[in-house]
A and B are shown apart, each in its own frame.
Chain A
């Protein structure tokens, strides 16, 4: 009985994992089909190989719209799920486990960067979500508000036009278009750099963190990357960690 400590903890339940997979698939579909429209290939005159890969401009347009609607539905499902979890008490607000930005995130960010450059000897101690993970999460809300709404406007222009004031009619469409396309570019590059580094390239995760499939996080990573949540778990649920010392 020297090692009864579980080697992994459950970080994300099945619902969250399904929501993430839907988000991931629709995000890629939207990015790939939208990219063709953002940068149409003029060199190959009407038949860029990329758009042919997606079945031509019409098919790509349909894929883009369907994926967009599924992504919005996924987002709505997520929000309803989280709110219901909070209301029924299955999820509780705690500064350590919350994904809501708290003042200590700013302190942690500064300390983390100081640690990176060697001006601080200690890493900041994170809770369940570090500031980058919080940024990742809320970026989706920002994206939904900006890209999702402008996408709906662009998908149903004649309906939306009924509600627009006349004085905005000359320029507002271009603004919607710019919002949709530029923020999408921001989302794609952000995911490509930050999310890819954290979940794929980072030493302990290379080539890929399996958390998105299993929902589990190794006890080692839990303790190292989320020490505050680890301590909280220890306090609230000491039975689960019979031998938290060296394994």
Chain B
């Protein structure tokens, strides 16, 4: 019995002692970073968030990992730099994406350490090439869609930024912006047009069968629509639409353009205008008629009562 009590008393101690080093290390970092508020200006002049929400981090898919698994080294380090060894491919990638990852490029590139297949797809995608080859700072990489690596939730979770319920919003983060559309010569109002389409409306209503952006365009390996490798390229589109619409032909797949109605798309634009005139005109006449009729009915009842009875 005494032995058992001793075992019970030592159990918490042993748990701390025997826990993986990652836990202890994370614990140390979070002692400060779990309670720091606000942002800090680095020597380069960018503001970085130094607060890490311990609760959200531990619930995230990366909650079991130590900080230095990704934060292997950083230049603007005010405290002792972690001296983890950095593999060459990570440093290479870090320099490639440095235009994008200005704060801790190594930590950003560290995603590729575990998610190497995905990173390969991304680096060949229109998003990845935009950052790696064209050095654009506003191109999309991992964190733009998935959010901070500290808080990434499993895809099935409603809290995940790329969960089905949130993914259109995640794409819209950039693709709703006019300056992005202008800079990269993309269509404007594409999210708006999606929302107005049957797909978008059913999506909003919680239909589980309709496609979101990624179901047609792809996700990590996304290509521009005129790239023959894109699932929505003119060559592949019938097959892509055909996943849900068997027998889809070229004339059918031309229906989705995400183009706003207007100058470039005049027929639906004027058809709608015409129908609005017809609808509003008819309704206006009907309201006019009903009001007059109601007025006359009440008048006849109240003020011409005798006349009515006489007629009968």
A202 at the interface (CB under 8 A from B): yes
- Complex CA–CA separation, A157 to B292 (angstroms): 44
A105 at the interface (CB under 8 A from B): no
- Tell me the A74-115 residues at the B interface (CB within 8 Å): 113, 115
- How far, in Å, is A148 (CB) from chain B's closest CB? 16
- Which residues in A have their C-beta under 8 angstroms from that of B278? 186
Which bracket fits the contact residues of A? 35 or more
A1 at the interface (CB under 8 A from B): no
- Which residues in B have their C-beta under 8 angstroms from that of A116? 292-293, 295-296
B282 touches A161 (CB 8 A): no
With beta carbons under 8 angstroms apart, the residue of A42, A158, A173, A224 that contacts B248 is A158
With beta carbons under 8 angstroms apart, the residue of A58, A171, A203, A246 that contacts B268 is A171
- Which residues in A have their C-beta under 8 angstroms from that of B257? 170
A178 touches B255 (CB 8 A): no
- Tell me the B281-306 residues at the A interface (CB within 8 Å): 282-283, 286-287, 289-290, 292-299, 301
- Complex CA–CA separation, A174 to B270 (angstroms): 11
With beta carbons under 8 angstroms apart, the residue of B165, B282, B290, B296 that contacts A197 is B290
- Tell me the A126-173 residues at the B interface (CB within 8 Å): 132, 154, 157-159, 161-162, 164, 166, 169-173
A115 touches B296 (CB 8 A): yes
Which bracket fits the contact residues of B? 35 or more
- Tell me the A187-218 residues at the B interface (CB within 8 Å): 189-190, 193-194, 197, 201-203
- Complex CA–CA separation, A113 to B267 (angstroms): 37
- Complex CA–CA separation, A58 to B208 (angstroms): 8
- Complex CA–CA separation, A56 to B208 (angstroms): 10
With beta carbons under 8 angstroms apart, the residue of A113, A158, A164 that contacts B292 is A113
B191-215 vs A, Cβ < 8 Å mask (1 yes, 0 no): 0000000100110111111000000
A117 touches B275 (CB 8 A): no
Smallest Cβ-Cβ distance to A37: which chain B residue: B201
Of listed B208, B246, B265, B271, residue having the most chain A CB within 10 A = B271
A30-43 vs B, Cβ < 8 Å mask (1 yes, 0 no): 00000011101110
With beta carbons under 8 angstroms apart, the residue of B245, B295, B298 that contacts A157 is B245
B35 at the interface (CB under 8 A from A): no
- Which residues in A have their C-beta under 8 angstroms from that of B198? 37, 154, 177
B206 touches A203 (CB 8 A): no
B202 touches A37 (CB 8 A): yes
A3 at the interface (CB under 8 A from B): no
- Which residues in B have their C-beta under 8 angstroms from that of A202? 293, 297
B250 at the interface (CB under 8 A from A): yes
Known pairs A158-B247, A182-B275, A186-B278; A46 contacts B255 (CB<8 A):
no
Pairs across A and B, CB under 8 Å, 11 listed = A57-B206, A113-B289, A157-B252, A159-B247, A162-B249, A166-B250, A186-B282, A189-B279, A203-B298, A224-B311, A246-B312
For the complex of A and B, the 4 pairs showing the least CB-CB separation, nearest first, are: A57-B207, A161-B252, A169-B254, A174-B268
Beyond A116-B295, A158-B247, A179-B271, 9 additional pairs, beta carbon < 8 A: A37-B205, A57-B207, A132-B289, A166-B254, A172-B267, A174-B255, A174-B265, A190-B282, A193-B290
